[in-house]
A and B are shown apart, each in its own frame.
Chain A
Amino acid sequence: MNLTMKRLARTGLFLAMVMAVPCAAAMLSVHSATDSNGVFTYSITRGADDALWGGGSGALTIIIPSFGVLTTYDPPGWTSSMAAPDVVAWNYASTGTWLVSTMAATLSLQSASAVPVEYDSIAPGAEYGQGTLLGDVYTTNGAFYQSGSTSEVCSVNVAGYERFAFIGPALPEPFGCAALAMAVLLTSKRARGGLRALHRRHP
């Protein structure tokens, strides 16, 4: 499946396709989609496990590496930032607790690259590294998951992370890379405020 998708991506046959790449991990399911024009959309829902990821403000983060990011689209209650070059982080930043449940959190980004490729590597510094969710573990009732026995005094929460594969924009070929860099530069200058301004221009 992975090899096939990569091959498809490199031959351009992914254009205008909508794809779903459910990740294998038990607590999380990530569906990816692209519109063939550089918009990549991620639908984050719970996996098959009984426990859920979740978190209050600042306690739930979804990190998605992505090339050529021009802007991001945040669902209500979420804020995004560039955690590093080519790495977007969405943080839940509202009141109450967001549970990664059957109701999807939908995150989107606009990339200068419209060619899709699977980000599925777990190697440090890999070209197409997996995404990561960091958060707390909850029960389906919305309570913190309890890990301790009666003889233990445990932290209120169990925190953790889960890696996931997804479809994102491909790194251009060398010639394309230079063109991509120029496109990003020009687009950013026009935006006169970088990513956030771009976001306002493309709500």
Chain B
Amino acid sequence: MTRGAFVLCVAATAAAFTACAADGTLVLRASGTNLSVQVQGSDKDDWHLETAAGLEGWAGMPAFGTLLSGGADAPWRSAGDALAPRRMFRAVKTAGLYDDTLLRTINLTFTQGNWQTLLASGRLTGSNTVCSLAMDNGTFVPGAGARYKGNTSYTGMGGTPPVKKSINIEVDFTNEAWRVMGYKTLNLNNAYTDETIMREPLYFTVMNRYAVCPKGSFAKLFINNEYWGVYSFAQQENNQLVKEWCPSDNGDRWRAPNAAGGGGFSSGVSALMYLGTNVASYKTRYELKAQNSSNPWAHLVHATDVLNNTPTNELRERVEDVLAVDRWLWFLAIGNIFADSDSYYHKGADYGFYYEPESGRIHPIEHDGNESLMPADVNLTPVQGATNTNRPVLYRLLGNSELRQRYLAHMRTVLDESFNPSVLIPIVDRFSALTYTAIEQDTRKGYTMTAYNTDLASLKTFIGNRHKFLTNHVELRPLAPTIAAVNPPVNPVAGETPVVTAHVITNGSSGLGSVWLYHRGASYGRFAWARMYDDGAHGDGAAGDGVFGASVSNYAAGTTVRYYVEARGSNPARAAAFSPPRAEEATHSYRVGMPVATNTDLVINELMADNETVIADPQGEYDDWIELRNITDHAVTLAGRWLSDDPDNPRKWQFPAETTIAPNGCLLVWADEAGSGVPGLHANFKISKSGEQIIFCDTDANANAQLDAVTFGPQYKDISYGRTSDSGDAWDFMIPTPGAPNY
């Protein structure tokens, strides 16, 4: 007698006790003795699945696969049988689609017999061929679009039978809503000329830490169940990438293609040279990949004009307004370290750039990396292109001694923490271990594993020799001072002048020339700068003690101020060091607090977070509301004052200029997220009925001093929470009196 199969699902709920912030919940299901697991969470994530006999010993447990998370319809993965006395299961989130510890498997299925012809045609016309896409983590897209891509990587990888070509996959080809873990375009690059297939992932892995660069990893490709080998799996250079690095993707984006418009690499016509005011000259040299402004070419013309034609003594100041200078320096430095032949210094082309409308500045975007780490370029000078007038970004920026030292400081940072053989070669070994067997099984790669091993050894030798060459180069040898410590202002509040201090010491022959503080009050845009002094008069303690101080601008309450410090040597090079070393990509930061007003003419008087029937707003909607009360006998203006439900952002919603409250009067603000609806005052937030804080603060001119605040717990339907006496400090639940005194 045997049992019939049965299916049971155990769906975990995190309702009562959620002890960590992980956004995935493991679901275990039994069908007879067969177990399956599912992870409920974001469809942008996938998870390593792990199992253990007990609650200890997870570390080092091999994952039994990755699994995409999602809603109730998320994929399931077999988890073996339930015959052991006990088993535990957990899921560990991967680093995302481009997790470089994973060798993804992608299956494309074409129904068309001539799919290769169609994909080849699509490379020239841009047309896609429909296919289904499945991944080993359970992802399935029924109608993606695919086409071959590339130039030399396409023509160079010929052969019969056809060897693998690079493929572009548009996930959203037949349905705009479809994504693969949040991405709508996938690239499978054939790593032309790179037997190890890891040059691009290596390059991207490092560049991605410092500058706008696609993520890179690896994938095995099957087409109609036939194995096509290992590919470099690279993030698409598109607006999604831009959005990961910039405040929005609302700007214009270009690609500088290989020597477009003729002239060859040496001409530099796609290298941001100034080509006059006629935009037609630019249109033949640059591809506008995304247009969001009415006249994107004007931005480009202006930027090239400033870059190329600004007098040298004005360039340092003016170029920051049109180029994200520091980001360009990281981009150029890493391209040089990796000796990337598809780079700005070499081609003056084959890169992308983005106009950030919020700052008016252009950012570089790395494009590809399969021709990086080439042995022939091991002795490439670190300032290659700095004397080439056809490479104006290098020529002009590195022509400025201060920016040249910044570029070299960035190089030192990368050489120390990323391109150091002790760091990079273990990554090479990890990538090789991850892909070796799959490359060995690839019959279409067009080379032997002997060639692979030779190239792998060559790659490692290159890394060692390139590091040695650069660290001993005359440009990079001068020592910079050491920034031993940087201290933020103590309890900074708006209206006060905060001081940042830095302890700087000389480093061997570096000497100590000057120390500089850079700061900004947003996550983007240029930094303001100020010199720091050790004279005892800049909040720096005693004079001559090595501690330098400078004042930061008086930013508004709630602002996160990003800042970093530069110390320049007094040696002939004026070699520079930064804290943090990855500035400006990484910064120190502090938050500007709110001072508390000593007195106030207005108070928060009553609020309702669960209004179902009490009072409707002028639009007829029963929204949350907050009541303010004028506790004086004269009218008070609210112009410029702020209301918020976020202590970290007290300047969330500002009262319109014309807003006043009559003597001893009350005023209702609808907390409905409308922000600016009329008639009525509509804040851009709602009130949580489970409780939170409401903050009322003064104008920017008055340092956003906190005028009043109330913290409350869970609220009841149609019951308000208010002051129990007129302008008193005690609060309690009450019968609502919107727009009127509370008693």
Q: Using a CB–CB distance below 8 Å, which chain A residues touch chain B?
A: 24-27, 49, 51, 55-61, 63, 65, 83-87, 89, 91, 95-97, 122-125, 127, 129, 132, 134-139, 142-149, 152-163, 171
| In the complex with contacts A55-B13, A65-B3, A124-B81, A148-B8 CB distance below 8 A | no
Bound state CA distance, A145 and B12, in angstroms? 13
25 A-B pairs within 8 Å (CB atoms) are namely: A24-B85, A25-B85, A55-B10, A58-B11, A86-B4, A89-B8, A97-B15, A124-B32, A124-B33, A125-B3, A139-B19, A143-B17, A144-B14, A144-B17, A154-B90, A154-B91, A155-B47, A156-B20, A156-B26, A157-B12, A158-B55, A159-B12, A159-B26, A160-B89, A161-B30
A27: nearest chain-B partner, CB-CB: B86
Bound state CA distance, A160 and B58, in angstroms? 14
What's the dominant secondary structure at chain A's contact region? loop
Q: Are B16 and A56 in contact, with the CB atoms below 8 A?
A: yes
B308 to chain A, nearest CB (A): 47
User: Which of B8, B10, B11, B58 has the most CB atoms of chain A within a 10 A radius of its CB?
Assistant: B10
Q: Are B32 and A85 in contact, with the CB atoms below 8 A?
A: no
B30: nearest chain-A partner, CB-CB: A134
Bound state CA distance, A145 and B19, in angstroms? 8
Asked if B583 lies at the interface with its beta carbon under 8 angstroms from chain A, I say no
Bound state CA distance, A158 and B55, in angstroms? 9
| In the complex with contacts A51-B55, A56-B12, A149-B59, A156-B24 CB distance below 8 A | yes
The 10 closest A-B pairs by CB, nearest first: A84-B6, A56-B13, A83-B6, A160-B88, A155-B91, A125-B2, A153-B93, A143-B19, A84-B4, A159-B28
Bound state CA distance, A3 and B4, in angstroms? 27
Q: Are B19 and A163 in contact, with the CB atoms below 8 A?
A: no
Contacts of A137 in B (CB 8 A): 55, 88
Q: Are B28 and A161 in contact, with the CB atoms below 8 A?
A: yes
Asked if B25 lies at the interface with its beta carbon under 8 angstroms from chain A, I say yes
Asked if B657 lies at the interface with its beta carbon under 8 angstroms from chain A, I say no
B27: nearest chain-A partner, CB-CB: A159
Q: Using a CB–CB distance below 8 Å, which chain B residues touch chain A?
A: 1-20, 22-28, 30, 32-33, 35, 37, 39, 47, 54-55, 58-59, 81-93
Bound state CA distance, A97 and B736, in angstroms? 36
Q: Are B20 and A163 in contact, with the CB atoms below 8 A?
A: no
| In the complex with contacts A85-B3, A87-B6, A153-B22, A136-B12 CB distance below 8 A | yes
A160: nearest chain-B partner, CB-CB: B88
B543 to chain A, nearest CB (A): 43
User: Which of A24, A87, A138 has the most CB atoms of chain B within a 10 A radius of its CB?
Assistant: A87
Q: Are A96 and B85 in contact, with the CB atoms below 8 A?
A: no
Q: Are B19 and A155 in contact, with the CB atoms below 8 A?
A: no
Q: Are A59 and B11 in contact, with the CB atoms below 8 A?
A: yes
Contacts of B6 in A (CB 8 A): 63, 83-84, 87, 89
Contacts of B55 in A (CB 8 A): 49, 51, 137, 145, 147, 158
Bound state CA distance, A127 and B6, in angstroms? 16
A132: nearest chain-B partner, CB-CB: B82
Q: Are B26 and A96 in contact, with the CB atoms below 8 A?
A: no
Bound state CA distance, A30 and B13, in angstroms? 24
Bound state CA distance, A148 and B32, in angstroms? 30
Q: Are A158 and B30 in contact, with the CB atoms below 8 A?
A: no
Contacts of B14 in A (CB 8 A): 56, 144, 156-157
Q: Are A124 and B83 in contact, with the CB atoms below 8 A?
A: yes
Q: Are A144 and B88 in contact, with the CB atoms below 8 A?
A: no
Determine which of A129, A148, A162 lies in contact with B20 in the assembled complex, contact meaning CB atoms within 8 Å: A148
A161: nearest chain-B partner, CB-CB: B82
Bound state CA distance, A7 and B541, in angstroms? 89
Given contacts A127-B1, A143-B17, A154-B90, 15 further A-B contacts (CB under 8 A): A26-B54, A56-B12, A56-B13, A61-B10, A85-B4, A97-B15, A129-B3, A134-B28, A137-B88, A144-B17, A144-B18, A157-B26, A158-B88, A159-B10, A160-B28
B52 to chain A, nearest CB (A): 9
A101 to chain B, nearest CB (A): 14
Contacts of A136 in B (CB 8 A): 10, 12
Contacts of B54 in A (CB 8 A): 26
Determine which of A65, A138, A139, A147 lies in contact with B90 in the assembled complex, contact meaning CB atoms within 8 Å: A147
B255 to chain A, nearest CB (A): 35
Q: Are A132 and B30 in contact, with the CB atoms below 8 A?
A: yes
Determine which of A65, A84, A96, A155 lies in contact with B24 in the assembled complex, contact meaning CB atoms within 8 Å: A155
Contacts of B11 in A (CB 8 A): 58-59
Contacts of A157 in B (CB 8 A): 12, 14, 25-26, 90
Determine which of A63, A122, A146 lies in contact with B30 in the assembled complex, contact meaning CB atoms within 8 Å: A63
A149: nearest chain-B partner, CB-CB: B59
Contacts of A154 in B (CB 8 A): 20, 22, 90-93
Contacts of A84 in B (CB 8 A): 3-6, 32
Q: Are A97 and B4 in contact, with the CB atoms below 8 A?
A: no
Contacts of A127 in B (CB 8 A): 1
Contacts of A132 in B (CB 8 A): 30, 82
Contacts of A122 in B (CB 8 A): 83-85
A124: nearest chain-B partner, CB-CB: B33
A157: nearest chain-B partner, CB-CB: B12
Contacts of A51 in B (CB 8 A): 55
Contacts of B35 in A (CB 8 A): 161
Bound state CA distance, A60 and B20, in angstroms? 20
Contacts of A152 in B (CB 8 A): 92-93
Bound state CA distance, A13 and B649, in angstroms? 75
Bound state CA distance, A91 and B29, in angstroms? 13
Contacts of B18 in A (CB 8 A): 144, 156
